[in-house]
Structure 1
């Protein structure tokens, strides 16, 4: 089985330890959510797993091969990354941004095929209306939907390959309906056989969409396992340093922080 693994990974910035001795594996066909308070190391971990951040100790492996040894084009076909912040240096349109996810497939896809894939992903993220608009004039939420379309197109480019989809706070800036739509798109990829890892702040969204959760605290792995077993009020209250309760109504459950309503809202 194809695996994307972090083995005893530590990342530092100068003398500061950002994450320490973290091990986890992402398998095809599963959705793994990474949770934790601000500064816990979630984005750092995703960057290391993506191969975009150097590790001080340990190793990141894709199919047992160090991720740094993969050819860049081949790696782009095996994993797609949505970073927390996506800087665009040129005045690209939404369509051009979505098509960037297909650059690694230029040798096997025609321009027409690439445009069709980009259009399909923009339609899925309800961003097709922005196809001909300059990216720079879009709102934060609109940009996020275009960027999500980019990585979805990248994942859908080759039906013979089941890549890994790595998302760093994919629902930031989105309204509630588009938050659910974005994570439902990721869930569908996992159900189709892709591996999905998403850094999230919203506990309820993680509980709804993820098979497993990894909870980080102070740069270390606090818990890793099935969502229902790991997401307990006791653990969450301790990690997030605020009281969190779990309520059930109408067959649904939700986590609430009594001091401020639904956590993550």
Structure 2
């Protein structure tokens, strides 16, 4: 997704239709269902990262589609997917809202943030909760105590920083993390689907892992990189409802 232009999309999915979609597609994972719906409605232009807040506040997503391009995509979308997502004007919620989002940020601007993430690290061929990985490195149950919030703060810093010895990505080095709190935490099983081979359908498999909401304050250190960071999102599983940086005034 280009950081040259960015828009904030807001919809309110129809809960009844969403539940029906999940049953029909045999998924109990809301992120997987919304991922499928956005792909059905927009194809390769599906907005991401996105965040589903709740039934009342709906779904937010960053997209590069401007008003005209969005209207075209919605007009060509799968009708049921569009109605389920609340995109259609005939839906119970009256259609979507789209507004331009800033792409030019002042140097050293301080902002409040909230982000839902899946803080995992690679352990062998699998993903592992960064906290459980840190506990194992500390000696397990008999080792030194490990603080989950501190581990996740370090995980976030590492994901936002320029990585030594690796090519710099456009979104790295965008911000300095001033403070962070672990606002909510759960463990859940997320559905992920393999890419189809030939005429076969996508097969789903469940992955257990952490589901954390991190909040705090940050300082913009590279305005151009910050625009790329917003458009990209943080961490993995960004197409499934994770990684969208929600911003607010620092106070």
Instruction: Give the TM-score normalised by structure 2.
Output: 0.24
